[in-house]
Amino acid sequence: MTCIVGYIDEKNRKMYMGGDSFGVDSEDHYRSFVSDKVFVKENMLFGFTSSYRMGQLIQYKLVIPEQKEITDSEYIATVFTDSVIKCFKDNKYLANKEGVITGGSFLIAYKGVLYALQDDFSMVIVKNGYGSVGCGRMVALGALEIASKLDIPVEKKIKKAIKAVKKYDSLVGGPVKIVSCEY
């Protein structure tokens, strides 16, 4: 129950991440929370779904490793992801079913590219310069397909996409938070 949207603005060399603020409390009540699902850490943007605990580990405990002489995608798929796995393991967040570890899913914007890290820690590069994760991702992607062609600020494109999701998915709601940084 989340909608996270990432957007790369190549023209202005800026990366954006937006997210709703709904969550579920311990009694299955849906409501807005103050805790943000999107944030900037060092030179990366993050937007998470799955669990607030997972997002808090990434935001406050993950040590982002230095990128040495490898490509950006190799760095995200290996060195960076290994650091995420270590952080989750050290903080008892990993699930292990029949020897397969899983975590959660989130978007990463790094050096002008949008990546999705999936539950099984596989990494995919998101095409078209925009992407989404969470239960509202398909509606958001449709809205972004249209919004990407409009001559409006990126923040409005992201808000329009999440607003469309809120209209059709009762698990997404509350204020939208958007963060950005240059690359």
- Dist. CA 161–CA 45, nearest whole Å: 18
* Tens-place pLDDT, residues 109-167: 999 999 999 999 999 999 999 999 999 999 999 999 999 999 999 999 999 999 999 99
Least confident of 17-21, 65-69, 71-75, 95-99: 95-99
User: Is this prediction's pTM over 0.85?
Assistant: yes
Is the pLDDT assigned to residue 9 strictly greater than 70?
Answer: yes
State residue 72's pLDDT score.
98
Percent of the chain whose predicted confidence (pLDDT) is above 70: 94
Count of Cβ atoms closer than 10 Å to residue 182 Cβ: 10
* Tens-place pLDDT, residues 15-27: 999 999 988 766 6
What's the chain look like in SS3?
Answer: CCCEEEEEECCCCEEEEEECCEEECCCCCEEECCCCCEEEECCEEEEECCCHHHHHHHHHCCCCCCCCCCCHHHHHHHHHHHHHHHHHHHCCCCEEECCEEECCCEEEEECCEEEEECCCCCEEECCCCEEEECCCHHHHHHHHHHHCCCCCCHHHHHHHHHHHHHHHCCCCCCCCEEEEEEC
State residue 26's pLDDT score.
60
Mean pLDDT of 62-91: 97
Torsion of CA 8, 117, 124, 15, to 10 degrees: 10
Domains, the chain, in order of start with CATH, read 4-182 (3.60.20.10)
CB contact at 8 A, 129 and 114: yes
CB contact at 8 A, 174 and 137: no
Q: How do strand 113-117 and strand 106-110 relate by DSSP bridges?
A: antiparallel
CB contact at 8 A, 129 and 120: no
